[in-house]
Amino acid sequence: MSHRLTFIQKFLVLFIVVCLFVMGFGCYYYLNQAAKIKQAELINLNVIANLKVNQIASWRQERIGDAIQSMENPLLVTALNNYLANPNNLELKTNLIHWMQGLQKASLYKVSILLDDQYRVQLIAGDKGQQIEPEIKQNCLLAATTKRIVLTDLNRLNSSSEIYMELIIPLFSNHDKCRGWVIFKIDPADFLYPLIQSWPTASPSAETLLVRKAGDFVLYLNELRHQKNTAFNLKCPLTQTTLPAVMAVQGKEGLVEGNDYRGIPVIGVIKPVPDTPWYMVSKIDKAEIYIPIQRYSQFMIVVLFLLFLVAFAVVYLLWRQQEFQYRTERLAVEQEKQALIHHYDYLSKYANDMVVLTRKEGQIIEVNDRLVATYGYSREELLNMNVRELYAPGQTSLLDIKIKYEGHVFEAIHQRKDGTMLPVEVSSRTIDRDGEIFHSAILRDITERKKAEREIRQLNQDLENRVIERTAQLEASNQELESFSYSVSHDLRAPLRHLEGYLSLLKTNLGPQLDEKSARYLETLSGASRKMAVLIDDLLSFSRMGRAEFQKSTVDFNQMVKTALQEYSGETKGRNIEWVIDPQLPIIQGDSGMLQLVMMNLIANAIKFSRTRNPAKIEIGQLQKTPDTVTIYVKDNGVGFDMNYINKLFNVFQRLHKTADFEGTGIGLANVRRIIGRHGGQVWAEGILDQGATFYFSLPINKETH
């Protein structure tokens, strides 16, 4: 028994070592891949930040280049000076206004103004109600003093919420006296803000900020993605050192981590904009970076689980083989014990086994009738033989070894008188009778046992071959699933990211030159690319749902509803929705992650398809419970559906409403049906067109699920 326990302990240790190795390797591989994914995101973030800064710098240089070209045009400068000297010249006035309007249209200037040396407006093209702010006079004086073109900082008029920049060109007479200024007002909303806010790849959280220092605060200069009306309105004190914007104005550059204006952890890259007090902050939520890492961790969990199964199967087969050997040995020991107990009874003529008694040297002195009949010798012939003569050639050395051990049981090959071989099991015992040594042995014909052992070995070999074959099939299936996941997540998404990035760059670079139809074409392509990315994500989710391991736990549906409402608080904000929720929803056993996805899908559909109602009414409750099942429903007063198409409702990619009216991919309800099916339940729906819909699902209370 102790020998058996020692063996089991060894195999347990072996199994634990194999599991620890697999886990260690899996963790190392996961951490390595996670680091690569994060590094790739950081490189992408840095590239985008550099791109934005270079684009802003190029845009500023283009504006200054326009001004220099105008300032160095002698005919234009002469015409401007002549008009300032004679403002009643209508022909000259008309020509100058046409020039100002042409440059204004070509370079997206909002207003063009000609001031004389007394800061009086002599010509204006654009908004006639423009006022000359004190800051404009100061900047004009700076341009006249330095004899340089001035491109001002972003400012906001005190009398309105208008944000602008100014390009100021000083005009000098032949005697270097400043005769006036040409001022072009720039609306950053025309080009600068869209340039800052655009992002070359699809991302739910990434954005770019433009900030500068304003006293003891950092001032946000552009509209933010996640908060409205922020340009020149949102200020944060410099004491909030975890803000990337604060880090920027305090002189930090490159990669930073902190919390943004929403209080959400982000990773960002800070770059100063040359020749400006501005700082560019390109950032992305940490949670978004970790999404592919989380998906990869789920994949690694599946791989590790499969490896554990393979390791367990191998160890189990080894244990079964040793168990068989142990039982065989135990059987032999038990047979020997019984043989010793009934030793002298077996000497009778009617013993079933063959019995032989020999002297120490092996001379036979007694045999029973069964041995005589089996070997084919007469009794007299046997009594004149040595026991070694019964052994097949080459077997006598085995006898010499075995008889040295008291009560030993061993197998040997004997030879009958006719020359045929006889496999026997020998159970020997040494007898000391008054100092004289005798050996008694019970011989058992084990021909049938050997045949059975050969059959058992063949069965074990067949079983082992079957396990190897099934293991290979499982590994092949796993490789196919891995290849599929890689193809979808990389080969299909990479072109979409490139398409979206180049579309964004195309809109950025050609935006001012595109007509309305071309811009609409680009927007259609961009929307189709985003829709394809969402469709790929949903299809992968549907595929993984069918292969996900079932994790059984206690499921509280009231808590699930609460979680779902918190998740969709953004979609319901500002809407008039009447919620009717049963406070006593059931608690059952099931996979909490899968069932949470069911509630999220059904509640999301109710919110989406009732958004045309004011007020909308959404009811979550349960039907009367039976001893075997619970039934939960989600009801809304939305647009409903035609019951003639109920058979299509839960199929993949089947939608009963136009995408233009209600977004979606047709995967959600298919996932619901698959999850409820894996729980051993059912799902169905009822609806009336333009009156609402009710979705039901039932779950077993005690039935095993998978």
- 209-213, 445-449, 470-474, range with the lowest pLDDT: 470-474
Per-position DSSP letters for 372-407, written without gaps between them? HHHH---HHHHHTSBGGGGBPTT-HHHHHHHTTSTT
- Check residue 216 and give its pLDDT: 92
Q: What is the pLDDT of residue 13?
A: 76
In the DSSP assignment, the letter for residue 625 is P
> What's the mean pLDDT in 61-74?
81
Residue 652 has a pLDDT of 59
Q: Quote the pLDDT of residue 706.
A: 42
Nearest to 188 by CA among 214, 167, 217: 167
Residue 136 clears pLDDT 70, i.e. is over it: yes
Quote the pLDDT of residue 656: 63
63 backbone dihedrals φ, ψ, rounded to 5°: -65, -45
Number of H helices, E strands in the chain: 17, 24
pLDDT in the model for residue 339: 56
Write out pLDDT tens, residues 520-551: 777 767 666 665 665 566 556 555 555 556 67
Digit-coded pLDDT (tens) for 493-530: 666 666 777 677 777 777 667 777 777 777 767 666 66
Instruction: Look at residue 705 in the predicted model and tell me its pLDDT.
Output: 43
**How far apart are alpha carbons 322 and 377 in whole angstroms?**
40
Can you tell me whether residue 26 is helix, strand or coil?
Answer: helix
Residue 41's pLDDT is 80
List, for residues 365-406, the tens digit of each pLDDT value: 998 888 898 899 999 999 999 988 888 887 766 666 555 545
Confidence of residue 351 (pLDDT cuts 50, 70, 90): low
CA distance 606 to 435: 100
Give percent of the chain with pLDDT exceeding 70.
80
Q: What is the pLDDT of residue 431?
A: 81
> Taking 50 as the threshold, does the pLDDT of residue 165 lie above it?
yes
The pLDDT value recorded for residue 631 is 93
Query: Is 37's pLDDT higher than 80?
Result: no
Q: Stretch 424-436: mean pLDDT, rounded?
A: 81
**pLDDT greater at residue 432 or residue 355:** 355
**Mean pLDDT estimate for the chain:** 80
pLDDT of residue 248: 92
Inform me whether the pLDDT recorded for 217 exceeds 90: yes
pLDDT, tens digit, for every residue of 87-135? 888 888 888 888 888 877 777 788 888 888 888 888 888 765 556 677 7
What pLDDT is attached to residue 655? 63
- At 213, the pLDDT band (50, 70, 90 cuts) reads very high
Query: Can you tell me the mean pLDDT for 308-336?
Result: 75
Question: CA–CA separation, 200 vs 282, rounded Å?
Answer: 12
Q: Does 610 score more than 50 pLDDT?
A: yes
Q: Which two tokens stand for residue 387?
A: 């026991």
Band of the pLDDT at 484, cuts 50, 70, 90? low
Contact 634, 623 (CB under 8 A): no
**What is the arithmetic mean of pLDDT over 682-695?**
90
Q: How many CB atoms lie within 10 A of CB 27?
A: 12
Considering only 17-31, 215-229, 245-259, 602-616, which range has the smallest mean pLDDT? 17-31
- DSSP-derived pairing of the beta strands 692-700 and 629-636: antiparallel
pLDDT at 388: 87
> Is it the case that residue 562 has pLDDT exceeding 80?
yes
Tokens of 3: 């020998």
What does the block give as tokens for 631? 């039934």
Distance CA 413, CA 426 (A): 10
Bridging pattern class, strands 577-581 and 616-622: parallel
How would residue 359 be classed by pLDDT, with cut points 50, 70 and 90? confident
Query: 181 or 542, which is more confident?
Result: 181
pLDDT of residue 502: 66
Specify the length of the chain in residues.
706
User: Looking up tokens 């070509």, which residue turns up?
Assistant: 106
The Cα–Cα gap between 260 and 283 comes to: 9
| DSSP line for 646-662 | GGGTTSTT--SS-TTTS
Give the per-residue pLDDT at 277: 92
Does the structure show a pLDDT above 60 at 340? Answer: no
pTM above 0.85, yes or no: no
Across 260-286, average pLDDT: 91
Q: How far, in Å, CA of 32 to CA of 39, rounded?
A: 11
Percent helix / strand / coil, the chain, rounded to 5: 50, 25, 25
Residue-wise pLDDT tens digits, 631-686: 999 999 998 888 887 877 776 555 666 665 666 566 778 888 888 888 889 999 99
Rounded to 5 degrees, φ, ψ at 415 are: -130, 125
